[in-house]
Amino acid sequence: MTADDIRRYLERAVALAREGMTASKGGPFGCVVVKDGQVLAEGYNRVTSDQDPTAHAEIVAIREACRRLGSFQLEGCTLFASCEPCPMCLGAIYWARPAAVYYAGTRDDAARAGFDDAFIYEEIDTTGAERSIPFAHVPVPEATAVFNDWKRLSAKQSY
């Protein structure tokens, strides 16, 4: 992929961010998934219009790309995001396993526009009880048993 291709796909991701913002679908974020030199899927943020806090541009585009491929993996795909993926979207990217990610804005740009991306990155490094949303680990014996049964399962599809 050439530098021109990369800039072109990032500009498309930003155009999607503007499209979603202008249509009052959600925040100003867009994403494009490319495979074999073709756009496989596009998305923009739909959090407020879909009333779905997980409907970030990257999640929307990843789900659509997977639907089109009939796969839960984005092998050989490249993801272009108008802004640095937040921890939720970073996690989704790692589970989908595309080949590479390019982004235009940064988590600090997003913070200056009023979004929590940088804050959530900071919270990851705090321990459960110190978080602004407290996380508590309460062991339950059956939780260990279900993992052991998964390990023993012969007919399973890993991911």
> CA nearest 86: which of 121, 61, 51, 54?
121
Write down the catalytic residue from 11, 19, 58, 64: 58
Q: Which is nearer to a second copy, 37 or 53 (CB)?
A: 53
DSSP 24-78: TSSSS-EEEEEETTEEEEEEE--HHHHT-TT--HHHHHHHHHHHHHTSS--TTEE
Give φ, ψ of 92 to 5 degrees: -60, -40
Establish whether 64 is a catalytic residue: no
Nearest approach in angstroms of CB 30 to a second copy is: 9
The distance in angstroms from the start CA to the end CA of the chain is: 28
- Min CB(139)–a second copy separation in Å: 6
Considering beta carbons, is residue 40 or 101 the nearer one to a second copy? 101
Tell me the closest approach of the beta carbon of residue 159 to a second copy, in angstroms.
Answer: 5
Per-residue burial over 71-88, b if 16 or more Cβ lie within 10 Å, else e, is: eeebeebbbbbbbbbbee
Question: Helix crossing, 117-124 with 87-96: angle to 10°?
Answer: 70
Provide the minimum distance between the beta carbon of 38 and a second copy in the complex, in angstroms, as a whole number: 20
Known catalytic residues are 58
